[in-house]
Chains A and B, each alone.
Chain A
Amino acid sequence: MMTISNALHNEIFLTYLAISGGLLGFAGVVLGILTAIGKKVSSIWKTYLGWLVMAPLVLGTIFLGRTATIIGVALLAIFGFKEFARATGLYDDWWLTGLVYLGIVLLGTASFVTDPRLGYPGWYGLFMASPAYVVGALLLVPILRNRAKGQLQQVALAIVGFIYFGWMFSHLGFLANSEFAYGYILYLIFAVEINDVAAFTCGKIFGKHKLRENISPNKTIEGAVGAICISLAVPWLLWFSFPHFEPWHLVVAGLVVGIGGQLGDLVISYIKRDIGIKDMGVVIQGHGGILDRVDSMIFVAPIFFHVVRWIHGIH
């Protein structure tokens, strides 16, 4: 169970804390040297400063325990969905937008309460059933206000918004109920970020052939393959996160992040390209909006969750 006192004694959490501190410190030193010898790295500094803000926020939330983690994920889902709603214009419709907010609150509540039949923390049945209720409620809105014109687009956007940015992403919060919550959540966050960086770096170094030129012209097949290779190695290095995993579980964990992460990136890319915007919003300097930051996690979290649940069960 995730609590403050457990975090203080949890080797997995403390190890990740040390790794993040080390990585941030190392990156700071490298950037400092690069600046000192006169390289132009000001945009990287911005990104780095963004990380200096985000890393303590994320680790601090996990440190505070299960409740804080579930609330944190729900808030990210709400504000992430809001970016999507504003970008698409769904935000003009306060009924549908408000209902999706309520739906995400329902997901947070389902992740938080105890299962009334089984007695586990987190009501899995309600969590999995909530799309039926929320989608049903969203479809009712045009009927209640007796309007047809333009309603299919608005309801469709709201359903995509709820299912993708709400329900799929909220799986990350539900993981807080697991016995191995620290390992699972921290592995996901680290592996997804490493995967992002690896795709970018491999693309820069080896990139030749465009991956999906109509969606994201800067992504290359070489970058994607390189990222999958690196992501396949990561679970072996972070094996301490899930000591109960067998080797083939590590391969699966690596593939889920390596493939899923890049798919999540591409999903947000084609959404943005269709709408015609560059970033989903402005929250953190050098990182764009919330959705630009968590795009890969949205796709990875539910698949990792269900694969792990299928192999081990989640509790």
Chain B
Amino acid sequence: MTEWEYHTPPDIDETMSEHLGNFPRQPYMLIYAIRSAAALLLRAWMRVYHRLRVDGQENMPETGSFVLVCNHTSHLDTLSMLCSVPLKRLHQTFPAAAADYFFSSLPRSAVSAILINALPFDRKFRGAESLTVCSELLSNDGNVLIIFPEGTRTTTGELGRFRSGIGRLLAGKDLPVLPCHLDGGLRAWPKGKMIPRPFSLRLRIGAPRSYGHLEKTSESVRQICQELQESVAELGRRNT
């Protein structure tokens, strides 16, 4: 008789709080159920309260992994992007979130990991390591990564300089990346305010591109960042 094979998950001796802060997270039925319910409520809320409109949804590839990059004016950016991906991809959609902010305490980790499905991104000390995690995530099929290459929320509405991480992630890979722009976020929920105000939002999703033809040099990284920054800015000009 052949022996049975047990597929014990690697997180078997982790506590719940460790589980929420680590990445990749093992799938849990209860967490998926809560996240799905929250996503439905969020979609209804964003449509009604913020009258969210999404243009260019058809640009999203139907299969395979891809990256969404967006300007960053408020937390509504992440929420709008989450509402624009198809529901069946919800649990494969990971907004990269600053570990020092979104995973700083257990309640925050719980919201980030359970409701938002956030990927803890260490923007301070271990950026390279976090990029490797993103890279591995995208090498698996069907994952969506949401990144805000400015690295932090703007307080002026000006599009900030794109950090080099996104370039390093994309250079030399045939990985579709879609520039996006959300308009109205700054007015509806500026940094420092507790509660969003009912202003309307409009999300534009640009056409996919990829940078497989470029080698991973500092020159090409800079070029990718610049190109993406310009296309996000261009979508922004069309938005206003």
Report A's interface with B, CB cutoff 8 A: 86-89, 91-92, 94, 97-98, 101, 153, 274-279, 281-283
Contacts and interface: CB of A to CB of B under 8 A. Distances in A.
Contacts of B41: none
B29 A277 contact: no
A89 B15 contact: no
Interface string B2-18: 00111111001111000
Contact of A281 (B4, B7, B12, B29): B12
B7 A282 contact: no
A98 B8 CA distance: 18
B101 to A, nearest CB: 27
Interface of B: 4-9, 12-15, 29
Contacts of B29: 94, 97-98, 101
- Most chain-B CB neighbours within 10 Å: which of A89, A101, A153, A276? A89
B8 A282 contact: no
A86 B13 contact: no
B4 A276 contact: no
Contact of A86 (B4, B8, B15): B8
A246 B113 CA distance: 56
B6 A88 contact: yes
B13 A282 contact: yes
Nearest to B11: A86
Given A94-B29, A97-B29, A98-B29, A86 B6 contact: no
A283 B19 CA distance: 12
Given A98-B29, A282-B15, A91 B9 contact: yes
Contacts, number: 38
Contacts of B13: 277-279, 281-282
Given A87-B12, A97-B29, A282-B15, A92 B6 contact: no
* Chain A interface, >50% SS class: helix
A88 B7 CA distance: 6
Contact of B6 (A87, A97, A101, A279): A87
18 contacts: A86-B8, A86-B12, A87-B6, A87-B8, A88-B7, A88-B8, A89-B5, A89-B9, A92-B7, A98-B29, A153-B4, A275-B6, A276-B6, A277-B8, A278-B13, A279-B13, A282-B15, A283-B15
A277 B12 CA distance: 9
A141 B13 CA distance: 30
Contacts of A281: 12-13
Given A86-B8, A87-B12, 8 more contacts: A86-B9, A86-B12, A87-B8, A88-B6, A89-B6, A92-B7, A282-B13, A282-B15
Contact of B14 (A89, A91, A153, A282): A282
B90 to A, nearest CB: 15
A86 B4 CA distance: 15
A91 B6 CA distance: 11
A141 to B, nearest CB: 15
B8 A275 contact: yes
Contacts of B14: 282
A277 B10 CA distance: 11
A92 B8 CA distance: 10
B236 to A, nearest CB: 42
A274 B4 CA distance: 10
Nearest to A152: B4
Nearest to B14: A282
A43 to B, nearest CB: 16
A275 B13 CA distance: 14
A223 B8 CA distance: 32
Contacts of B7: 88-89, 92
Nearest to A156: B4
A278 B13 CA distance: 9
Contacts of A86: 8-9, 12
Nearest to B13: A282
A94 B26 CA distance: 13
Nearest to A282: B15
A153 B14 CA distance: 26
B221 to A, nearest CB: 38
A270 to B, nearest CB: 13
B51 to A, nearest CB: 36
